Structure 1
C-alpha cells in the first residue's frame, strides 16, 4: 500500500489523500517507479477542472522523478536502482507520428490510459493515472519508454521539473520556434512554464525578452530569469511601441491556455512573425482570425505540445545547460512540501501565489 492523491470527480476542490493505494503489477514491458519528487503543475489543475480529460477516479500528477523499483521481463536499458524522469507522453516507436520523428504527438499510451487503470484503491476498486502516470503517488507503473534514465547526482526535485515544465518551456523555444540570436521575444504568461520559455529565449540569445502578465508581482521574478522588460495587458501596446516601434515581436509565446491569451500573442507579433501556442486550453474555448489576416499578415501559428521534445534526446541537453549554470532550476521551485500539503498546494497554485511547488516523498 502507498500514499496517493485521488480525484474522484471533475470539479472536486479537494483531493482524497489516501494511504491504501496499490499499483498494478508491472507487465513484461513495464517499469515500477518509486516516486521521490513530483511537481504541482497547472496541467494538474486542468485535469481537476476537466479542461484536460481523464478517466475517473484518477491519481493526479504527471511531472515526477524517482527510482526504478521493478522491471518487466523484456525491459532493457534500465534496472532497479536507476534514477529516472517520468515521461508522460512515452513514444511507441511504431505509429505514424513516431516514424515521422514527432514522438511528442504519439497517442498510443495516452489512449490506453483511459481504459487501463494503473492503481487499485483499498476497497478493491480501480483508479486511473493522469496521462497514464499519476505521480502524486509514492509508486507508479509505466511503460519502459515512460522513463528516462538520469545521473544520480541530479536532485530529484530538479529531475521532476525535467519531466514537464522545463521541456515544455525551453523546448518550445529551441525545438518549435527555433529562436535565433538577436531576435525579439514576447511571452504571454509568467508562470512556471512561462519562466522556462523566458530562460530558453535567454539561452537562445534573444536580444529583447518581454514578459507579459497582469500580475505585477511576477514581473521582477521574470526579470530574474532573463526578461529584459515586463508589461501588463494595460500597458502592452505602449511597451510594444517602445521596444519594436509598434511593429511587434519576432516570436510571441502564449503560455496561458486561453483563447484571449492567443489573441494577445497574435496582436503582439510582427507581420511575418511566429505565434507559438504552449498553454493547454479547453476544447470549447475557440479562437478565431479573419482569412484576410491569416494570409496578409504572414504570421505563423505554431502549436508546441510538450515543447516538441524527444526526452531521450533533450533531457541530456537540459542537464548540460543546468551543469553549465545556464539553466536555473532551483529558482523555479517556490517551496518543497510534503504529501499531506497537496490540497494546500492546489489552492496556492490556483491563487497564483507560487511558481512551482514540489512534493518530496520521504
Structure 2
C-alpha cells in the first residue's frame, strides 16, 4: 500500500518537440494499483533517446526521456505482491500486457497490448506533471531521466543487491538487446562465424554474447579504432575499419562469408550490404533501429538462391523477467564483463552533453546519476 498520497517533487530531463531538451522541475504522482515507485540510482543514455532528440522517431507529446535504469523500490501501490520497499530493480521498458496472443505464446517481446511505444503507462496515463500541472509523458513507458519514477510492477525486475546499479541500468535495454540477439533471436550455434557491424553499447553486447556461446570467428566492424580495441578485448577475434576496407568482399575472400551478420547501427546502407556478407544459408539479424519510414533494397534472388535469411530483433527477443536475472547472475559469476561497457558517469543535468557524445560516437555507454 502506498505510503505517500501526495505528488512528489523531482527534476527531469524533458523533450518538448521544437523546444528541444530541457531540465525542469516536475511532480511525480504516488503509485496506483499495480504500480511501484522507484528511486533511480543510475540511468543509461541510449541511441533510442537520441532518435527522439534527432527527430528520427515521432514524438507527439512532451516527454520525460530515458528508458534504461536501475534503482530501489521506495513505495508500492495496491495489489503489488511481487516487490517490496527496499528491493533493487532493473526497469524494463517493454512491459508486456500478459494477455495477448503473443504473451500467451511466450513471445512477450512481441506483445500487442503494451503501451510502451505510445509513451504512456499501461492504462494510458502518466504519473508526471510539469510546474503548471500539465502532463509530461514517460518515454517508452518509463521516462527514467529523473529522480523518481512510477512504473507497473511488471516493468520492475528484481535483481541481486550486490549488482552495481550502473550495470543494472544497462540491463534495462542495451545488454539485454545485444546478448538476446545472439541467444534468443538468432540462436547462434557453437562454432558459428559472425560479424558485428557497429561497436557501440549494443554491438559490444552482441560480441560478448557471441563469445559466451562459443562463436568463432567473431569479426567486429566500426569506424573507431578505440571501439574496435574494446571489441577485441571483449571477444572479437578480428577487427575491420569500415572506412578502410570493403567489408563484404573481405568477408567473402577470407572467410567464405559468415554464418551470422548482426547490424547494430540502424543505417540503411549497412543493412543493404548485409546479405553479401553471408555464406550460403547465413542469417542477417537487424538489431539497430532505423529512422521511422526507412526503406532498404535487398536482392531477393540472392536470398532465395543461397538460402539466406533476414531476422528482425526487438529487445533481443527477451522476456525481461526471465532474461534480466539470468544476465545479472552471469555478470556476478564473472562470465559477462558488463562493467566494461560503462563509459563516462555524469550528473543528470549533463544529459545533453551525454547525448551529444553519443551523436558523435564518443566513448562507451554514458550513465546519468540523479543527485
* Cα distance in 1, alignment partners of residues 33 and 145 from structure 2: 24
Specify the SS of the correspondent of 1:98.
Answer: helix
* Cα distance in 2, alignment partners of residues 190 and 65 from structure 1: 23
Task: Give the CA deviation at 1:315.
Answer: 1.4
Q: Judge conservation of contact 1:119–1:126 (CA < 8 Å) in 2.
A: yes
* Cα distance in 1, alignment partners of residues 140 and 18 from structure 2: 15
Q: Which of residues 248, 263, 266 in structure 1 aligns to 2:272?
A: 263
Match of 1:126 in 2: 135
- After superposition, the CA RMSD in angstroms is 1.6
Task: Give the CA deviation at 1:264.
Answer: 2.5
* Cα distance in 2, alignment partners of residues 249 and 302 from structure 1: 15
* Cα distance in 2, alignment partners of residues 298 and 283 from structure 1: 29
Specify the SS of the correspondent of 1:220.
Answer: helix
* Cα distance in 1, alignment partners of residues 127 and 273 from structure 2: 40
* Cα distance in 1, alignment partners of residues 60 and 99 from structure 2: 25
* Cα distance in 1, alignment partners of residues 257 and 81 from structure 2: 50
Task: Give the CA deviation at 1:112.
Answer: 5.5
Q: Judge conservation of contact 1:67–1:84 (CA < 8 Å) in 2.
A: yes
Q: Which of residues 225, 230, 244 in structure 1 aligns to 2:234?
A: 225
- Residue 24 and residue 111 in structure 1: after superposition, are their counterparts in 2 closer, same or farther (change >3 A)? farther
Match of 2:174 in 1: 165
Match of 2:116 in 1: 110
Specify the SS of the correspondent of 1:293.
Answer: helix
Q: Which of residues 3, 23, 35 in structure 1 aligns to 2:11?
A: 3
* Cα distance in 2, alignment partners of residues 237 and 290 from structure 1: 14
* Cα distance in 2, alignment partners of residues 175 and 269 from structure 1: 20
Task: Give the CA deviation at 1:241.
Answer: 4.0
Q: Which of residues 329, 336, 343 in structure 2 aligns to 1:334?
A: 343
Q: Which residues in structure 2 correspond to 1:4-153 (within 5 Å)?
A: 4-9=12-17, 12=20, 15-18=21-24, 20-107=25-112, 108-110=114-116, 113-114=119-120, 115-153=124-162
Task: Give the CA deviation at 1:97.
Answer: 1.4
* Cα distance in 2, alignment partners of residues 232 and 22 from structure 1: 47
Q: Judge conservation of contact 1:118–1:132 (CA < 8 Å) in 2.
A: no
Give the TM-score normalised by structure 2.
Answer: 0.92
Task: Give the CA deviation at 1:7.
Answer: 0.4
Q: How many correspondences in the alignment?
A: 357
* Cα distance in 2, alignment partners of residues 278 and 16 from structure 1: 29
Task: Give the CA deviation at 1:293.
Answer: 2.3
Q: Judge conservation of contact 1:38–1:358 (CA < 8 Å) in 2.
A: yes
Specify the SS of the correspondent of 2:49.
Answer: helix
Specify the SS of the correspondent of 1:151.
Answer: coil
Specify the SS of the correspondent of 1:136.
Answer: coil
* Cα distance in 2, alignment partners of residues 181 and 46 from structure 1: 34
Give the TM-score normalised by structure 1.
Answer: 0.94
**Structure 2: gaps (5+ residues):** 1-8
* Cα distance in 1, alignment partners of residues 249 and 266 from structure 2: 24
Q: Judge conservation of contact 1:10–1:48 (CA < 8 Å) in 2.
A: no
Q: Judge conservation of contact 2:13–2:349 (CA < 8 Å) in 1.
A: no
Task: Give the CA deviation at 1:106.
Answer: 1.5
Task: Give the CA deviation at 1:294.
Answer: 2.9
Deviations 1:203-259 (A, max 9, x none): 110110001112233211110111111112341245314531xx2100000101121
> Structure 1 residue 275 and structure 2 residue 275: aligned?
no
> Structure 1 residue 239 and structure 2 residue 247: aligned?
no
Specify the SS of the correspondent of 2:367.
Answer: strand
Task: Give the CA deviation at 1:91.
Answer: 1.1
Task: Give the CA deviation at 1:51.
Answer: 2.4
Task: Give the CA deviation at 1:17.
Answer: 1.0
Task: Give the CA deviation at 1:35.
Answer: 0.7
Match of 1:298 in 2: 307
